[in-house]
Every structure is written in C-alpha cells, then in structure tokens.
A and B are shown apart, each in its own frame.
Chain A
Amino acid sequence: DQQVKQNSPSLSVQEGRISILNCDYTNSMFDYFLWYKKYPAEGPTFLISISSIKDKNEDGRFTVFLNKSAKHLSLHIVPSQPGDSAVYFCAARYNNNDMRFGAGTRLTVKP
C-alpha cells in the first residue's frame, strides 16, 4: 500500500527559479515528515524535516510546508541551483516506526 505518494516523477526548472516538490500521504497517524535527496550511485541524504505540530520549517534555501488537513506536504527550493538536480524522496513516520517513502521526484535544474 502506497501511503506516501509523489505523483510527479520528474520536474524541470530554470536556475534561479523556485522548485516545488509535492507529496501526499494517506495515513493520518504520521507525525514526522522528512525529505531526502539522492544523487546517482549514492545513498539518500537527509535534507529537511518537519513535525506534525508545525506547518512550516525553513533551512536556508529549503522550506517544507505541511498541510495536515489536506495530508499534503511540499518542499520549496529558492533559488534553485544546478547542483540541486537529484531525486527527492518524501518520507513519513509515526511513533518512531518504520518510515514510508514516496517513489521520488527527479528534479532537473537547467542553467
């Protein structure tokens, strides 16, 4: 069962513009959400997270927004840079149980 969904397999944006990656989930028990970035031939690296008690968390160019009523979260990257080109995975967990990942969105930032 796909409890975490990333419906856009790919996204292409121009350097300097905003990248918005979306993620939807179905399990209302999830209380912690994370974004991971993955380059080819490397394992995913942690990017940013948000607790369900918040609706926004910001870290430099990266901001994650959480809309619990819509069971939706998004990752904003502003401004986008070519080095941001990677696959981004959305993940969710509850009570420190196993994480559920989305299928990933491949972001391409064009110079």
Chain B
Amino acid sequence: KAGVTQTPRYLIKTRGQQVTLSCSPISGHRSVSWYQQTPGQGLQFLFEYFSETQRNKGNFPGRFSGRQFSNSRSEMNVSTLELGDSALYLCASTLWASGDSDTQYFGPGTRLTVL
C-alpha cells in the first residue's frame, strides 16, 4: 500500500505570494491533518479534515486554509506569505476506523522557503 505523498517536495516563494500544497493520504484513509514544523516550535497542528469537512483547527491565522476533496486528497493554502512561514509542512493521514484512530502516518513533507 502506497504511503502518504506530498507535492511539491520543495518550494521557494517570495513574501506576499500565496502557495498551495497537496497531500494524498494512504488509500482508504479518511482523515488528513496538516502540521508545520520549524526548528524552534517543533511540530504544530494546523488543521484536520475528515470527509471533506474541517474537524479541528489549530492556532494559526486565517492566511492558512485547507480543503479536502471527495477522494480524501487534501490541499492547504497559505496566502500573503511571510518570512516566518518558512517551514516543513507535514501531512498525516489516519484511517479513523475502530482501533486505529490514534496512529497517524506522515508524508515526507513540503519544504517551503519564503524569501
């Protein structure tokens, strides 16, 4: 079974631009969560989607948004990029069936650099 895939793997943008990152979960997984990883803050939760609905949201400004499609693929969008948005963005998928609700499978991440 293929793992979680994220595209692109690397991205360079300038301040003020916007960016869209894509995540394809493991086949059959219905929940997708997004995380931001920075050296100083570690992993921080952005939001979670389940069945095309945002179910949970972390403490990030409205510039960060996401969506999930009917095939469970998810995108996250960051508008008006700031230098501090430079980070590794990780996507994780979860089956959300009985007995498997706790294990998240992470993708390799998208490294975003904002200049």
Which one, A34, A45, A97, A102, contacts B42 given CB within 8 A? A102
Contacts of A46 in B (CB 8 A): 103-105
Interface size class of B (residues with CB under 8 A): 20 to 34
Q: Are B108 and A44 in contact, with the CB atoms below 8 A? A: no
Q: Are B42 and A103 in contact, with the CB atoms below 8 A? A: yes
* Closest B residue to A1 using CB positions: B59
Closest Cβ of chain B to A10, distance in Å, is: 13
Closest Cβ of chain A to B9, distance in Å, is: 9
* Closest B residue to A46 using CB positions: B103
Query: What are the 8 A-B residue pairs with the smallest beta carbon separation, nearest first?
Result: A43-B106, A103-B42, A101-B43, A98-B45, A98-B56, A46-B103, A44-B106, A43-B107
Q: Apart from A43-B105, A98-B45, A101-B42, what are 17 other A-B pairs with CB-CB below 8 Å? A: A36-B106, A42-B108, A43-B4, A43-B90, A43-B91, A43-B107, A43-B109, A44-B43, A45-B105, A98-B48, A98-B57, A98-B58, A101-B35, A101-B43, A102-B42, A103-B40, A104-B43
Q: Which of A43, A97, A100, A103 has most chain B Cβ within 10 Å?
A: A43
* In the assembled complex, B92 has its CB within 8 A of some CB on chain A: yes
Chain A residues touching B, majority SS: loop
Closest Cβ of chain B to A4, distance in Å, is: 8
* Closest B residue to A34 using CB positions: B102
The distance in angstroms between the C-alpha atoms of A99 and B31, with both chains bound, is 14
Interface size class of A (residues with CB under 8 A): 20 to 34
* In the assembled complex, A65 has its CB within 8 A of some CB on chain B: no
Q: Would you mind naming 11 contact pairs between A and B with Cβ atoms under 8 Å apart?
A: A41-B108, A43-B4, A43-B109, A46-B104, A49-B102, A96-B101, A97-B56, A98-B45, A98-B56, A100-B45, A103-B41
* In the assembled complex, B7 has its CB within 8 A of some CB on chain A: no
Q: Are A89 and B42 in contact, with the CB atoms below 8 A? A: yes
* In the assembled complex, B65 has its CB within 8 A of some CB on chain A: no
* In the assembled complex, B44 has its CB within 8 A of some CB on chain A: yes
* Closest B residue to A6 using CB positions: B42
The distance in angstroms between the C-alpha atoms of A101 and B41, with both chains bound, is 9
* In the assembled complex, A32 has its CB within 8 A of some CB on chain B: yes
Contacts of B56 in A (CB 8 A): 97-98
